[in-house]
């Protein structure tokens, strides 16, 4: 249960959400608490699907915008409960992205008048594989919930607008050999040694930098896990290298796959997971009004976010949140309290009806 004084302050609300542990797959408690708060507001239509919540206004506006934040975190790393030191709030999820979700919840409860109708999403399982993502499930089961003219994901951007997002793909590069006793290694063929060529290609790889609408996207291709071996006295006959590719949004998923098969020509390559990027969504009227309110030029989002999901539905979207992406998922994850207040004020000013407009 979130107390009324907590709900009235985005900083206090951030800390309260952080202190409800919600590692991906274990979001029921935090979702229940957010649902109770939303249902206590008479101006919102609240719907729930699993551990994903939608709260929407129905003010009869010409345009509808989305504010969305996920409630899950990566596993705790001895960084709960939260602590405060001066102007810094420390703890798991402070940056990614409970400070952003807290702002969205605060706005949902306090912004009873708005220049747009607003759909607020609070969803689960963003930090794990895409099949479990709460927004993806809603898109499959209740796509009409996502209807909007523009969306903002409150992912950590340190108070800047980060446009679009990179695509992501994971593949397994598989090598084979011949099993043998290590005392007679010449009778076998070492699959781990065979992986050396794939690793050399990765080490020598030069990633692209792509500028789209003034935003520079930096690609990356990296080995993230390697597995192989049978026993201390056996020449291994199989080895797998897991490779992650972050690609600019000018490439489609099929184009990204074709590129990886070219890089690893001669090896068996199996795609295990992928998600498309999103081109910068900066041209819609709400986006232009928001950029004017922020007052700083946008940058490229170096990472994947659910902006991609909205882009796939034809809804322009961007990222904006108070957290620092450079400390997301870290043991010393933190958020600066002034950034929370600045982000809340920027979004509230953007949503507020112009002077003289009917509420």
Any idea which residues carry the catalytic annotation?
72, 126
| Interacting residues of 118 by C-beta distance below 8 A, sequence separation 6+ | 56, 57, 64, 65, 66, 67, 107, 108, 111, 351
Strand 162-163, strand 299-300: pairing = parallel
Cα gap 290→281, rounded to integer Å: 12
- Listed residue (299, 304, 293) closest to 352, CA to CA: 293
DSSP state for residue 182 in the 8-state scheme? G
| Interacting residues of 356 by C-beta distance below 8 A, sequence separation 6+ | none
| Phi, psi of 84, deg, nearest 5 | -120, 130
Cα gap 50→101, rounded to integer Å: 18
Residue-by-residue DSSP string for 124-173: S--SS-GGG-HHHHHHHH-GGGG--SEEEE----TTS-EESB-EEEEEEE
Burial 281-297 (b: 16+ CB within 10 A, else e): bbebebbeebbeebeee
Task: List residues bridging with 218 in a β-sheet.
Answer: 209
């Amino acid at each position: 249960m979130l107390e009324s004084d907590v709900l009235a302050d985005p900083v206090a609300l951030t800390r309260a959400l952080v202190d409800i542990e919600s590692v991906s797959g274990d979001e029921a408690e935090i979702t229940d608490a957010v649902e109770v708060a939303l249902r206590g507001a008479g101006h919102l239509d609240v719907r729930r699907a699993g551990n994903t919540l939608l709260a929407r206004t129905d003010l009869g506006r010409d345009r509808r915008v989305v504010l969305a934040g996920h409630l899950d975190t990566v596993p705790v790393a001895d960084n709960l409960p939260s602590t405060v030191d001066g102007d810094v709030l420390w703890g798991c999820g402070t940056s990614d992205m409970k400070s952003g979700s807290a702002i969205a919840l605060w706005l949902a409860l306090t912004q009873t008048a708005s220049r747009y109708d607003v759909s607020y999403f609070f969803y689960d399982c963003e930090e794990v594989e895409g099949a479990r993502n709460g927004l993806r499930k809603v898109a499959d089961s209740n796509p009409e919930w996502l209807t909007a003219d523009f969306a903002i994901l409150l992912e950590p951007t340190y108070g800047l607008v980060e446009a679009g997002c990179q695509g992501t793909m994971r593949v397994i590069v598989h090598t084979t050999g011949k099993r043998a006793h290590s005392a007679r290694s010449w009778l076998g063929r070492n699959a781990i040694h065979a992986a050396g060529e794939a690793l050399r290609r990765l080490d020598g790889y030069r990633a692209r930098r792509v500028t789209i609408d003034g935003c520079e996207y930096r690609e990356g291709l990296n080995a993230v896990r390697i597995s192989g071996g049978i026993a201390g006295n056996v020449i291994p006959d199989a080895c797998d290298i897991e490779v992650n590719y972050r690609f600019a949004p000018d490439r489609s998923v099929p184009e990204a796959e074709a590129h990886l098969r070219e890089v690893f020509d001669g090896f068996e390559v199996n795609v295990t997971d992928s998600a498309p990027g999103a081109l910068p969504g900066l041209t819609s009227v709400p986006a232009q009004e928001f950029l004017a309110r922020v007052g700083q030029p946008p940058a490229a989002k170096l990472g994947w976010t659910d902006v991609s999901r909205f882009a796939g539905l034809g809804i322009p979207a961007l990222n904006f949140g108070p957290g620092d992406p450079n400390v997301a998922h870290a043991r010393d994850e933190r958020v600066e309290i002034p950034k929370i207040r600045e982000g809340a004020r920027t979004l509230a000013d953007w949503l507020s009806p112009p002077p003289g407009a009917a509420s």
